[in-house]
Structure 1
Amino acid sequence: MLKTMMAAYLPGDARVVLKEVAVPMPGINQVLIRMKSSGICGSDVHYIYHQHRASDAASGKPLYQGVINGHEPCGQVVALGPGCRHFKEGDRVLVYHISGCGFCQNCRRGFPISCTGSDKAAYGWQRDGGHADYLLAEEKDLIRLPDALRYEDGAFISCGVATAYEGIVRAKVSGSDTVLVVGLGPVGMMAMMLARGRGAKRVIGVDLLPERLALASQLAVMDVGYLATTPDLVQVIVEHTKGGADVALDCSGNPQGRLLALQASADWGRVVYIGETGKVEFSVSADLMHHQRRIIGSWVSSLFHMEKCAHDLTDWKLYPHQAISHRFTLEQAGEAYALMASGQCGKVVINFPE
């Protein structure tokens, strides 16, 4: 095995820096993963690539701490540290991208994303992530990748797909539901795919960019798509659905997108806010209470649901890699991030040689 590897860092100012660093060695209960595919997430672009905006409310320290970037890793186990019992060399795995303390209430619920322990660390944010030839991970953070799925699928599941899946599960999408998805970036496209997998009778998409509507249409999971600039769009959707969507998911994080999701949902509709950042303003009585609507906030996923998502996709024969529009090598990471930041794309991944 090589002693050094290439790794990508995000110093801010819309730059990517490649460095040669030592290949890590696994310690107790740790595994070394040879990276095969590593996704680029919108949160990296918003919070790290442009500028290091996010900080910890309690300590004031920046959340991104100058580590190897990439929190959507998928690869193959090549070495095990002492104490590992559940995985073996050669296993194909994806990595839940938050390593929690394991003992707080949220970790006990299976949600390390909401860990309140002091040693919580996100891959690619507080500890080294997947934009390198090798990744050092805790064995407890691994999920086995089903044989029917590609490494690209696993990378996408490790954050974006599982985030959409959690929203679909919390909304209890079923065959009785018309589902509206606002914001057709990678997470929005996956929300449509997963809604179809759960049996939704009708799936409607909305986005500002015609290019994203076109890409979403190619997935063959959307019944109709609308540009966000369509006049009287709320009324158009309400008329098309004969009363509004049973479930509306906002994946845009945009104030107008969130409001559209709420106002275009039916009486007793379930509205899930998935998209990060931003605000929303609405009339509590007219938009929420008088229609008996329910707003659900959903952040990433649980370990259990991430694993179940991988198996459900296999059973449904639905493959997230179909939403990948661009693939890059690690040496092209700068181009990959610039494209993702432009928004003129679907999912973007960095792939590694076999």
Structure 2
Amino acid sequence: MAPLPETQRAWVHRSKGGVPHFTLETIPVPRPGPEEILLKVEAAGMCASDLHILDGTTPLPGEYVLGHEIVGTVAAIGSDLASEQYPEGLRLAVHGPNGCGKCANCKRGFDNQCQDPVKKWYGLGINGGYEEYVVVRPAAVVPVPSEVSSEAAAVTTDAVLSPYHAVKRGGIGPDTRVLIIGLGGLGMNGLQIASHFGAKVIATDLDTSKLAIAKQFGAQETFEQLPEEPLFVDVVLDFVGTKETFESAKKHASPLGKIVPVGLGATELSIVPHVSAIMEHQFIFSFWGTTGELAECLDLVAKGVIQPTVETCPLEDVKDRLHKLEKGGVKGRVVAMPSLK
């Protein structure tokens, strides 16, 4: 394999006195351990989770490189891995939850719920994708189809995978009546996925410019403000996750309906037991997705079933673009590409 550089550019997160700091630095290029892969990062997606870490609302202390939506090409492999399986240049998407592959949940295919107590998520505790090279484990990578661009694949590792997992958790299928609350990057992808599965989708967002796009992606009805009368849908996918949207979800779910909070906009949500018991509502929480589902999502993107909305930027612009994301100035998702200048 080609010689590796000694240093690289990276956006490093540090906690000093409980206050997060985020700086672009020059750090060493790591070498993979015996059972590890070194990827040359092609694309790293940005996410609201990064904002929550940087503003302290979701503190993840330590020193590490942020960025949990990663796609790269094989630059080097450990001594215990075979070059036939991981040839130089092979393009791989990284499964951020970083399952160990050995615990009971991982063996059952639920590697997003890995039981390893010391394992951490890429870009959320250990080094992630806002750098030029990153070390990953073989259990956490999925090949990227040739039809899928690196920037679209990076978005797929979270902004497509998370709604896909939520749709499956909600048991959505043909003729399921679904209400989607929030049409940001995840919500718009969730709409496309639910429509692909044959659901009858209602979508709502305060940004009216998104409602016409939602119609193009298969929404049968759209609302800027939901009606006073309950819609009585089978499943509500809440991609906002505030107390207000959670109340709306409960209001518009039918008896026996499923409520799936996906967005993490609130630290607490309330359930009135006797009301929900009478309605027999099912509250189903959803987290990220599995490596098996990531492969399925990449296949759907390759076939054009899901069309992520993506804009790109150089690695140096990560902090500025995160500020833009925080202020709501982004349509879809932003992806940093170290090759861009």
Could you tell me the TM-score, scaled by structure 1's length?
Answer: 0.85
Shift of 1:6: 0.6
Shift of 1:224: 3.0
Q: Which of 241, 260, 263 is the equivalent residue of 2:251?
A: 263
Describe how 1:24-103 pairs up with structure 2 within 5 A. 24-46=30-52, 48-51=53-56, 53-54=58-59, 63-85=60-82, 86-103=85-102
One-letter identity of the residue aligned with 1:254: T
1:330 aligns with 2:310: no
1:349 aligns with 2:335: yes
Could you tell me how far apart the structure 2 residues matched to 1:248 and 1:181 are? 6
Could you tell me how far apart the structure 2 residues matched to 1:52 and 1:20 are? 27
Could you tell me how far apart the structure 2 residues matched to 1:90 and 1:126 are? 27
Gaps of 5+ in 2: none
Could you tell me how far apart the structure 2 residues matched to 1:65 and 1:255 are? 30
Partner of 1:241: none
Shift of 1:299: 1.0
Shift of 1:75: 1.6
1:304 aligns with 2:310: no
1:190 aligns with 2:179: no
Distance 1:204 1:26, change over 3 A: same
How many residues were matched structurally? Answer: 330
Distance 1:234 1:272, change over 3 A: farther
One-letter identity of the residue aligned with 1:334: K
Shift of 1:344: 2.9
Partner SS for 2:125: coil
Partner of 1:58: none
Contact conserved, 2:180 with 2:238, CA < 8 A, in 1?
yes
Partner of 2:227: 233
Could you tell me how far apart the structure 1 residues matched to 2:62 and 2:121 are? 10
Partner of 2:202: 204
Shift of 1:314: 3.0
Partner of 2:278: 290
Mean alpha-carbon deviation: is it higher for 128-137 or for 6-15?
6-15
Deviation per CA, 1:148-201: give whole Å up to 9, x if none. 21112211121221111111011121121122111222211111111112122x
Could you tell me how far apart the structure 1 residues matched to 2:125 and 2:271 are? 36
Distance 1:82 1:72, change over 3 A: same
Deviation per CA, 1:94-152: give whole Å up to 9, x if none. 00012233333333333333323233111112211000111111111101111221112
Could you tell me how far apart the structure 2 residues matched to 1:204 and 1:14 are? 39
Partner SS for 2:217: coil
Partner SS for 2:106: helix
Partner of 1:280: 269
Partner SS for 1:98: coil
Partner SS for 1:99: coil
Could you tell me how far apart the structure 1 residues matched to 2:163 and 2:299 are? 15
Distance 1:132 1:211, change over 3 A: farther
Contact conserved, 1:156 with 1:320, CA < 8 A, in 2?
no
Partner SS for 1:268: strand
Mean alpha-carbon deviation: is it higher for 138-147 or for 99-108?
99-108
Contact conserved, 1:68 with 1:132, CA < 8 A, in 2?
yes
Could you tell me how far apart the structure 1 residues matched to 2:170 and 2:79 are? 41
RMSD (Å), alpha carbons: 2.3
Contact conserved, 2:14 with 2:61, CA < 8 A, in 1?
no
Partner of 1:3: 6
1:20 aligns with 2:26: yes
